[in-house]
Amino acid sequence: MSKTISGFSKLTKEEKIDWLAKTYFNNQPEIIQTITQYWNVDDKLQQLHDDFIENTISNFYMPYGIAPNFIINGRSYVIPMVVEESSVVAAASLVAKFWSTRGGFKTEVVSTTKIGQVHFIHSGDKNELKNYFNQQKTELYAATASITKNMEKRGGGILDIQLVDKTDKLANYYQLHVTFETKDSMGANFINSCLEAIARAFRKDDIEIVMSILSNYVPECLVKAEVSCKVEELDGENPEKFAQKFEQAVKIAEIEPYRAVTHNKGIMNGIDAVVLATGNDFRAIEAGAHAYASKDGQYKSLTHCEVKNGVFRFWIEIPLALGTVGGLTALHPMAKLSLDMMQKPSARILMQIIAAAGLAQNFAALRALTTKGIQHGHMKMHLMNILNQHKATNEEKEVVAAYFEDRTASHSAVVEKLNELRKPKIKWIDFLNEDKVRDTLTSLKTDKKPLFGRMNGQQMVEHLSLVTQIANGNWKVDMYVSDEKSARRKPFLHTDNELQVGFKAPFLSEDPTPLNFNSMEEAINDLLNQVQFFEKVFTETPNRTVVHPFFGELDYEYWKKFQVKHFTHHFKQFGLV
């Protein structure tokens, strides 16, 4: 069956889902259920989301968190963040609180100029092209008058139009390089509309327009954020050493591209999260930031650090073309909420808030890397993801979280601990509790068949008595256990693990030992007497040790641990626990 379809966009949402389920999922009902369960119960709100893009069939949820305690230029902020990666929001929050008592973040907008270009080919005389451009420049502004009128009222518009010769890089290639001020708007539609109007006005027979488009590289739409304090205020056991290592880590990212890429990715963890929360274009921000990191011909760190005269300084300089009006910021209710949460910032203020978030994220990452290592904190935050993946209960989450409070929470370690919790709880037999042992064994019949093994009920009771006699010194078993084997085996007695089904000490015969007593009652009495004698001989000689035929030389505590496991093993053999 062909998987190609015509007229797909004209299908209803339900028809699109039915086609998808039938064509790619063999009509599995759970596929449709998964898709539809993420629809909003408010039909109008769902329709709003459906209209954001084309061929919408559902919503893809992302966590929406908040990072409090940011002090930026003396003003308090709580910053919304949309991100799926654990530890990002927590790291930003912790760093914000750390710097809130050290002067907070100092930020400034360096410039807000945005860029668009008309790319064209001209094979004629260069001087004639320059003359034509100069003659037409006024007309180019005029061609955009109807578009720029409202923007100019807000203080924005076209700042300049320049002719750029790029023929040394590509034959006959030129640009009209146009700079814009778009105020609180990100301005993509405004810029592209202006560029297309300029291209139409500039076109003539010997000028071939290739394309007209804004640039997401905006090195003149720049913001700076900084934190600083005295080195001794950095806290920790050795703040001077920390400052030195921190500075070295940044300098490594300034000269080593392999490190710089990961370094800047961490910065963008914080930046993208706020950009997404405000309905701005994180892809444009990412592209522009990475281009700026390469502006000197080599990819470098976007942040910088200096430790000088006892003062620690850490700062970022990054291009951020953002908007607080128009586009998704005006349509998406959560984007509007995000802006309201940050006290309805202008685009300039939003640039500063987001730069601070990126700097905070980078500080958190570098602090972790140069102290405990990145995995220590990251895996703790990832812990809940692992637990949710394995459907942990709230009680299990509490126990596992407490266990990893001072341990590294690797994925395998978390799963191992969770599996340990989920093991059936072992009801260990207290073999020293005479009444309990007697009550339990009284119900056992002499010829009772086992759940595993070959002994009957009374043979099992007499076997427990016989092994206890080894500890008591009443039965000498001629077995040698080397120190090496004993050292390897004895730690098992400290664990919560049971003796495995099929475990058989080498001194025992293959067939069950013939009965020594005429009744189960006599066998039980003998066992309890042997246990009493066990207590007596070790009480009288506390430092006494006796060789176990498998585990080697054992003292009283080790023998007790073995007896608990041994009694439990055989009680389970007959379903008594």
Catalytic residues: 85, 265, 281, 378
At position 334, the amino acid (one-letter code) is M
Strand order in the sheet with 221-230: 106-112, 221-230, 311-319, 303-308
Find the largest Cα–Cα distance for the chain: 124
Tell me the backbone φ, ψ of residue 554, rounded to 5 degrees: -125, 140
Residue 113, phi-psi category: left (phi > 0), alpha (psi -120 to 50), beta (remainder): beta
State the Cα–Cα distance between residues 63 and 82, nearest whole angstrom: 6
Integer Cα distance of 540 and 560 in angstroms: 16
**Contact between 53 and 316 (Cβ < 8 Å):** no
Report the 3 state secondary structure along 223-270.
Answer: EEEEEEEEHHHHCCCCHHHHHHHHHHHHHHHHHCHHHHHHHHHHHHHH
H helix or E strand, kind and range, residue 108: strand 106-112
Nearest to 388 by CA among 400, 403, 373, 376: 400
Q: Which DSSP letter does residue 513 get?
A: P
Locate tokens 């005389």: which residue? Answer: 125
Residues 6+ apart with CB under 8 A from 202: 118, 120, 133, 136, 140, 176, 209
Q: Which residue has the tokens 């998964």?
A: 34
Q: Name the CA dihedral angle for 416, 417, 423, 429, rounded to a multiple of 10 degrees.
A: 120
- What's CA 260's distance to the chain center, in Å? 20
Q: Taking Cα atoms as reference points, which of 283, 278, 275, 272 lies closest to residue 325? A: 278
Token pair for 421: 């919790």
